[in-house]
Chain A
Amino acid sequence: MAQLPALVDGVERLTDMMQAPPDAFVQARGIGKRFGALTALRDVDIDIRAGEVLALLGDNGAGKTTFVKVLAGAHVPSDGTLRIGGDTVRFASPRDAADHGVATIYQELALSENLKVAENIFLGHELVRPVLGVPFLDRAAMRARVRVLLGELDAHIPDIEAPVGSLSGGQRQAVAIARALNLDARLIIMDEPTAALAVAETRKVLNLTRRLAESGRAVVIVSHNIADVFEVADRMIVFRRGRKIAERKRAETDPDEIVALITGAHPDARVADQP
């Protein structure tokens, strides 16, 4: 009977393979999250593929941010399984998620304003030359790497020795993205990446987003801005009342349908409205 666990494992793998195309980098199945009596997320199945931009849409409180936090390791799901790159994972912290190639760029841009550009990009992953176990910073190497990263993103930050507090919104976005690139992220989650940006800067960030996907990374963006989403996303998923109620390819839908799904006017949205 020693083969039985291996057999069960094999069958599980087989059913997983049947459920999703083999190239889905992230496979979330039956994800649920409860906070006490409140159910924030219920039975969510989502595939995220490398090389595509997936947009998560929904009203405030619809569950998209909760789902993203599960992906990012900020919340531990109450139910369901999460497979990333073929491994079943259970993230206890953002650090766990980062170790599996998941990087999150938060709405309020989690950067330290008093630290320099390079110090922010490398925070927690500094390039060091340890002397007797003491991690001495290798600033020259970090500066060189920052120039490469920013060049790759075609981002212009005139003074990389400046504190991040003195940069514009788009420049900060570029620093946050460079940080994700440096961590060799394979899934990059962007929470409202264009929310606080001027028009020209929004353009740049959307271009950056496409560029990330074209380089073979999986990108998830959470946004309220339908126009931005239609410009950048390959696929869209709409959340309502903690459930995934719709999944559409960009070519097969239009902004009106998506808005109807978000607001609950669309017939498909009624599913979530039953108690």
Chain B
Amino acid sequence: MNHALRRNLVPVMLCVLWVALLGTLAATHAWILSPRTLTSVLQFATILSLAAMGMGLVVIAGGAGIDLSVGGTISLSAVLGMMGLGAGLPGYWLPMVCLGCGVMLGLFNGLLVTRLGILPLIVTLGTFYLFSGLALALTGGGAIAGVPDWAVGWGRARWGALPMPFITVVLPAFVLLSGLMALTSWGRWIVAMGDNERAARLAGLPVDRVRLMLYALSGALAGLGGFISLAWLGSARPNIGVNVELEALTAVLLGGVAITGGRGGLVGVVSAALLVVMLRTALLQIGINTVWQTGAIGALLVVALLVNRFSNSRG
């Protein structure tokens, strides 16, 4: 296979999938391609994009990095945010509480990974159960209502067809993080440590500290996702983060991030996240059972892994 094509196999596949999906919809269900669908896709993609960007950076930084706990972090930080209000915190603290909880949960992952040297897969699988279990236990499975009006107003507002949370949180986060990756030393360090961790350590890079920061960042983005879920739905639901880790991982791999680290970027990750949501939304609107939607995402994940495997060999 051609070298350039091989290196860029995943981005090429992502473009092909986009064209195929939009083409198929245009040919068979053209009514789906409307501004309303755009709004709904972006609305659903908001939380996923945040989680996928965090997961993406964790994976790019290598060391078998992965953050399976993002879904649990979203649920738990939303629940803790509302419980904070219930305990008497003023309403305008809500975003800060959610964000802070996310950071703490992410730091917890990062400390287990960097200080104790436990495999990230095992750590975050454990904390995934821990966080989502706690979210369920604290609420008894029910939703906590009472999100302040200003938050709900913002969470449901739109600018044209574009949902406000997407414009005011996802876009700035995307621009900021892409800029950090492309224009700063930190971005080079993240790629370098994922590419060749030994070289990075010998070059004197603070590998463990950067990795800890990235888990904290992943947690922070998930915490923001938790706040957005509150503002959008108007209540804290302990199951809001269910399956987000699966979809985020799919977006990360489909977006061209090498599962072994050192390669990939956020443009791919976010456009893959949008593709995942677009696919799910289309299946929903066509009327295909939700059970099959998760299956379709899983199939996409397997395909992404296969293509990853083929483009990974440095030939």
Contact = CB atoms under 8 A, between A and B. Distances in A.
B87 interface: no
Interface in A93-148: 93-95, 98, 104, 106, 108, 110-115, 119, 123-124, 126, 128, 134-137
A165 interface: yes
Interface residues of A, number: 24
A95 B263 CA distance: 26
Contacts of B204: 93-95, 98, 124
Contact of A112 (B183, B186, B196): B196
A74 B204 CA distance: 11
B192 A123 contact: yes
Contact of B184 (A108, A119, A124, A134): A134
Contact of A126 (B188, B195, B202): B188
Given A123-B192, A165-B314, A111 B199 contact: yes
B184 A112 contact: no
B185 A126 contact: yes
Nearest to A114: B195
B208 to A, nearest CB: 12
Interface in B184-218: 184-186, 188-189, 191-192, 195-196, 198-205
Given A134-B180, A135-B184, A135-B185, A115 B202 contact: no
Contact of B188 (A98, A115, A134): A115
Contacts of B262: 112, 114
Contacts of B188: 115, 119, 123, 126, 137
Interface of A is mostly: loop
Chain B, interface residues (CB within 8 Å), range: 20 to 34
A123 B205 contact: yes
A161 to B, nearest CB: 14
Contacts of A106: 202
B175 to A, nearest CB: 14
A56 B203 CA distance: 23
B313 to A, nearest CB: 12
Nearest to A99: B204
Interface string B60-80: 000000000000000000000
Contact of B202 (A104, A119, A136, A137): A104
Given A115-B188, A134-B184, A137-B185, A124 B205 contact: yes
A234 B252 CA distance: 54
B196 A124 contact: no
A93 B201 CA distance: 9
A110 B198 contact: yes
A108 to B, nearest CB: 8
Contacts of B202: 74, 94, 104, 106, 110
Contacts of B314: 113, 165
A217 B269 CA distance: 47
A123 B203 CA distance: 6
A112 B195 contact: yes
B201 A112 contact: no
Contacts of A95: 204
A112 to B, nearest CB: 4
Contacts of A135: 184-186
A119 B192 CA distance: 9
B185 A94 contact: no
A123 B196 CA distance: 12
A123 B197 CA distance: 12
Interface string B283-313: 0000000000000000000000000000000
A74 B202 CA distance: 8
Contacts of A137: 183-185, 188
Contacts of B189: 123-124
A113 B180 CA distance: 20
Nearest to A135: B185
B183 A115 contact: no
Interface in A61-108: 74, 93-95, 98, 104, 106, 108
A150 B165 CA distance: 49
B238 to A, nearest CB: 37
Interface string B163-192: 000000000000000001001111011011
Interface string A156-174: 0000000001000000000
Given A110-B196, A113-B195, 14 more contacts: A94-B202, A95-B204, A113-B196, A114-B262, A114-B263, A115-B195, A123-B189, A123-B200, A123-B203, A126-B188, A128-B184, A134-B184, A134-B186, A137-B185
Interface of A: 74, 93-95, 98, 104, 106, 108, 110-115, 119, 123-124, 126, 128, 134-137, 165
25 contacts: A74-B202, A93-B204, A94-B202, A95-B204, A104-B202, A108-B198, A110-B196, A110-B198, A110-B199, A112-B200, A113-B196, A113-B314, A114-B191, A114-B195, A119-B192, A123-B189, A123-B199, A123-B205, A124-B189, A124-B200, A124-B205, A128-B185, A137-B184, A137-B185, A137-B188
Query: Which 9 interchain pairs have the tightest Cβ spacing?
Result: A95-B204, A110-B199, A124-B203, A112-B195, A135-B185, A126-B185, A112-B192, A123-B203, A110-B202
